[in-house]
């Protein structure tokens, strides 16, 4: 049999303000040594999509639902394994009388390839937003939510965190008008890592003037740049008077000076709340501005169709022409002057950092 190893993982868990919450040690199996077809078969790791989280929060705020955040302690330890898996003894904790003996798993463990699937097969309790062991549960009846949490805690060790405060690296702050989702701590960490925390801010995210291909040498190692180009956004969810879906789609044409590919951008709203947005280069070269626009439209249609399916509703897509001055997706596709950039940023309900 293939015998896999194990190791300890140490982490410092922090609160939304950056202060230390607790120190955490976790024993994980070296699942990368597992052999497919022998140690594991079917694997997958179902986690909630960020668009789903924002959509559910928007619905909950609009409907006046109660929202609670949970954390499952040692979630993978609850699940029985269908396969036979052996693991070496822990370094420093080996049995002196039987030093060559190994462990036979009765339950799952972090690091195993099949661990997320085993947990998913056990966690069918209703419509929860689940990201590994972080959970958001919400409902129109507070007593129902409490009952669900109580029943869940009889099977798993649950830590009830109450109203969400820090979920998936996003700080949530309730107000009379809605909820503020802030990634300030994450943004500050990125600035410190890149050595730009003391740099002066710019009014727009990209320069208005176009770059000319060939004038600047490419980065020798673009890995650092790509790792720093993550999504940093401030998003305000306010209570909305309706749950209508609106989407804005836009594109530039041959905007990249290197390969002449176009950039697509879209923004999807549920009522007045922005729940999904994308800015990405198109995979192929568009032969006309019309083709570039249709490619962007196809992307947003796919996203809206998915959102509609998520809401379990049947609806048709109504495509309308939007003038440039009212095109909210314009901010995702091209550099803009500061007044125009600030105007569209406010329309997206993105709050400037303070």
pLDDT in tens, 291-310: 999 999 999 999 998 888 87
Q: 126: pLDDT confidence band, cut at 50, 70 and 90?
A: very low
3-state secondary structure of 135: strand
Report the share of the chain in percent with pLDDT over 90.
10
Q: What is the DSSP string of 259-313?
A: T---EEEEEEEETTEEEEEEEEE-SS--SSHHHHHHHHHHHHHHHHHHHHHHTT-
Please check the confidence at residue 125 and state whether its pLDDT lies above 50.
no
End-to-end CA distance of the chain: 58
Q: Between residues 122 and 259, which one has the greater pLDDT?
A: 259
Per-residue model confidence as pLDDT tens digits over 191-214? 787 787 888 877 766 666 555 555
Using the Cα atoms of residue 145, residue 146, residue 151 and residue 152 in order, give the sign of their dihedral: positive
Burial call 181-210: b when 16+ CB within 10 Å, e when fewer: bbbbbebeebeeeeeeeeeeeeebeeeeee
Q: Residue 162 CB: number of other CB atoms within 10 A?
A: 9
Does the model's pTM come out above 0.85?
A: no
């Amino acid at each position: 049999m293939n015998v896999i190893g194990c190791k300890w993982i140490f982490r410092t868990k922090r609160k939304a303000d950056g202060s230390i919450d607790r120190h955490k040690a976790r024993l994980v199996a070296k699942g990368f040594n597992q052999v497919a077809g022998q140690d594991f078969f079917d694997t997958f790791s179902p986690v909630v999509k960020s668009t789903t989280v924002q959509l559910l929060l928007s619905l909950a705020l609009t409907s006046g639902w109660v929202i609670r955040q949970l954390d499952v302690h040692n979630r993978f330890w609850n699940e029985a394994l269908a396969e036979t898996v052996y693991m070496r003894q822990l370094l420093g904790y080996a049995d002196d009388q039987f030093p060559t003996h190994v462990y036979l798993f009765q339950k799952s463990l972090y690091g195993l390839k099949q661990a997320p699937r085993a947990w998913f097969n056990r966690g069918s309790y209703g419509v929860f937003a689940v990201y590994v062991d972080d959970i958001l549960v919400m409902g129109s009846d507070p007593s129902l939510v409490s009952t669900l949490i109580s029943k869940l805690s009889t099977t798993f060790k649950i830590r009830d965190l109450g109203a969400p405060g820090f979920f998936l690296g996003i700080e949530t702050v309730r107000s009379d008008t809605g909820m503020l989702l802030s990634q300030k701590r994450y943004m500050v960490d990125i600035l410190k890592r890149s050595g730009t925390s003391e740099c002066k801010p710019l009014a727009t995210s990209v320069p208005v003037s176009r770059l000319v291909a060939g004038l600047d040498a490419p980065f020798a190692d673009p890995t650092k740049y790509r790792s720093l180009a993550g999504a940093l956004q401030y998003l305000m969810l306010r209570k909305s008077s309706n749950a209508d879906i609106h989407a804005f789609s836009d594109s530039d044409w041959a905007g990249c000076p290197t390969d002449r590919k176009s950039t697509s951008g879209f923004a999807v709203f549920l009522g007045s709340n922005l729940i999904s947005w994308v800015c990405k280069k198109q995979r192929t070269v568009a032969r006309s501005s019309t083709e570039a626009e249709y490619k962007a439209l196809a992307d947003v249609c796919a996203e809206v169709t998915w959102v509609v399916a998520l809401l379990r509703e049947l609806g048709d897509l109504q495509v309308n022409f939007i003038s440039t001055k009212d095109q909210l997706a314009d901010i995702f596709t091209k550099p803009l002057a500061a007044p125009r950039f600030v105007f569209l940023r406010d329309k997206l309900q993105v709050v400037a950092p303070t």
